[in-house]
């Protein structure tokens, strides 16, 4: 029987809808029935989820990781902690020291909020910092102030929280207006974060500043500069977009990258049940009703995903047939994309940046045989 020990919950509202963001969310209106509707969605969802688990022979084991993402989970407030404990966690057990993360928008935090979630097990915070330059914060259409970022970072540092922060690259106008990435990083690191998620801005064609997005060469230099900088400060580049101090990798995300089962709740929340080596189920919550869309995966789809997921992390990719991939691996090594250990291909920071094109190389070679 498959056991699931990880849980993701998507909180689908934000105080302000940033113009670059593609996550599912609605504008938060405290005077509407939004929170009650969300609670109803989750309550029906819990029952629907029980059925899904029993249909697939899946049961809960002690929870090892919990992750509240969004949207803006911090907007759910103290009321959210009460609901989460009573309606989602009831009947579930948290393993001792289970990793329990909440994403917090710096404009929405209070000490009371953090303490109420801490009292039900929260022990990791992920801060939506994005940039520490006030000019770029504005360009990025963020609703929070720089002072709010600094006060949350200071709080986390002073209270010795295990915390991560999101940092964005490839911002519009950063070439012309000479964004000083190193200065921002110096500033951020004074708070001693344990983990940093580094995202390259993914701008759609309708993005208002699409014309001002820097070219690929500029973004490549930025990414490699940040990677070098963080590695020199003792961080490990352990996944394409993630750096951590030793022992502070995101255990929750490692479950996804290791193709392990992760349950999900909330509109657009996506869960995965690994049902043996040649069978898996991916499911996604609809937004209009607490109903689920399901996709069954077979051996070849699981294999393909595994290649991609293994390549993204520093654990490395173990090809099924290394001989077949020999010339590819050699050419990647020659171009500085990574190192072959004799068993696994471990990508360098440059290799991580080239991930999509390396996956294309694998497809092309697979298709040849």
Ligand X SMILES: C[S@@+](CC[C@H](N)C(=O)[O-])C[C@H]1O[C@@H](n2cnc3c(N)ncnc32)[C@H](O)[C@@H]1O
Which positions touch ligand SF4 (CB under 6 A)? 14, 17-18, 21, 23, 25, 70-72, 105, 128
CB crowding 105-131: b at 16 or more within 10 Å, else e: bbbbbeeebbebbbebbbbbbbbbbbb
Q: Give the binding range for ligand X (CB under 6 A) out of 195-203, 248-256, 299-307, 323-331.
A: 195-203
Which partner, ligand SF4, ligand X, none, binds residue 199 by CB below 5 to 8 Å per kind? ligand X
d(CA 99, CA 172): 35
d(CA 295, CA 99): 28
Rank residues 69 and 351 by Cβ distance to ligand X and give the closer one: 69
Site for ligand X contains 105 (CB under 6 A): yes
CA distances from 110 to 119, 150, 297 (A): 14, 13, 42
Site for ligand X contains 109 (CB under 6 A): no
Q: Considering only residues 196 through 255, tell me which ones interact with ligand X, judged by CB under 6 A.
A: 199, 201-202
DSSP state of 49: H
d(CA 89, CA 334): 50
d(CA 249, CA 152): 21
Site for ligand X contains 141 (CB under 6 A): no
Which partner, ligand SF4, ligand X, none, binds residue 17 by CB below 5 to 8 Å per kind? ligand SF4
Best CA proximity match to 319, nearest among 298, 354, 258, 310: 310
Nearest distance, CB of residue 327 and ligand X, angstroms:
34
Q: Considering only residues 276 through 335, tell me which ones interact with ligand X, judged by CB under 6 A.
A: none
Rank residues 4 and 14 by Cβ distance to ligand SF4 and give the closer one: 14
Site for ligand X contains 168 (CB under 6 A): yes
What torsion, rounded to 10 degrees, do the Cα atoms 193, 197, 203, 204 define? -130
What phi and psi values does residue 258 have, to the nearest 5 degrees? -95, 15
Nearest distance, CB of residue 156 and ligand X, angstroms:
14
Q: Write down the number of H helices and E strands in the chain.
A: 12, 16
Rank residues 15 and 157 by Cβ distance to ligand SF4 and give the closer one: 15
Among 1, 22, 215, 357, binds ligand X (CB under 6 A): 22
Site for ligand X contains 356 (CB under 6 A): no
Among 43, 141, 166, 315, binds ligand X (CB under 6 A): 166
**Residues found near ligand X in the complex (CB under 6 A):** 14, 20-23, 69-70, 72, 103, 105, 128, 130, 166, 168, 199, 201-202
């Amino acid at each position: 029987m498959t056991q699931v020990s990880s849980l993701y919950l998507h909180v689908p509202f934000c105080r302000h809808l940033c113009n670059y963001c593609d996550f599912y969310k609605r504008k938060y209106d405290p005077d509407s029935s939004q929170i009650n509707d969300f609670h109803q969605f989750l309550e029906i969802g819990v029952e629907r989820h029980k059925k899904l688990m029993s249909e697939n022979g899946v049961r809960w084991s002690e929870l090892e990781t919990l992750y509240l993402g969004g949207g803006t989970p911090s907007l759910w407030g103290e009321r959210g902690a009460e609901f989460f404990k009573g309606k989602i966690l009831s009947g579930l057990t948290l393993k001792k020291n289970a990793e329990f993360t909440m994403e917090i928008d710096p404009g929405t935090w209070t000490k009371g909020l953090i303490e109420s979630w801490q009292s039900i097990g929260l022990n990791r915070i992920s801060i939506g910092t994005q940039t520490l330059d006030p000019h770029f914060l504005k360009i990025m259409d963020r609703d929070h102030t720089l002072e709010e970022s600094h006060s949350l970072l200071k709080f986390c540092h002073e209270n010795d929280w295990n915390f991560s922060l999101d940092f964005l690259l490839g911002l519009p106008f950063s070439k012309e207006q000479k964004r000083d990435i190193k200065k921002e990083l110096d500033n951020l690191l004074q708070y001693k974060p344990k983990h940093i998620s580094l995202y390259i801005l993914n701008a759609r064609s309708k993005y208002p500043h699409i014309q001002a997005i820097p070219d690929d060469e500029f973004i490549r230099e930025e990414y490699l500069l940040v990677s070098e900088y963080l590695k020199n400060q003792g961080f490990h580049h352990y996944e394409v977009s993630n750096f951590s101090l030793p022992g502070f990798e995101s255990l929750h995300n490692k479950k996804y990258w290791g193709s392990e089962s992760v349950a999900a709740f909330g509109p657009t929340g996506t869960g995965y049940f690994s049902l043996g080596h040649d069978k898996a189920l991916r499911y996604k919550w609809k937004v209009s009703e607490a109903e689920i869309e399901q996709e069954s995966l077979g051996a070849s789809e699981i294999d393909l995903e595994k290649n991609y997921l293994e390549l993204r992390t520093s654990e490395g990719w173990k090809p099924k047939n290394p001989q077949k991939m020999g010339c590819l691996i050699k050419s990647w090594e020659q171009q500085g994309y990574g190192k072959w250990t004799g068993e696994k291909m471990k990508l360098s920071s440059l290799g991580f940046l080239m991930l999509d094109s390396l996956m294309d190389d694998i497809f092309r070679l697979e298709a040849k045989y």
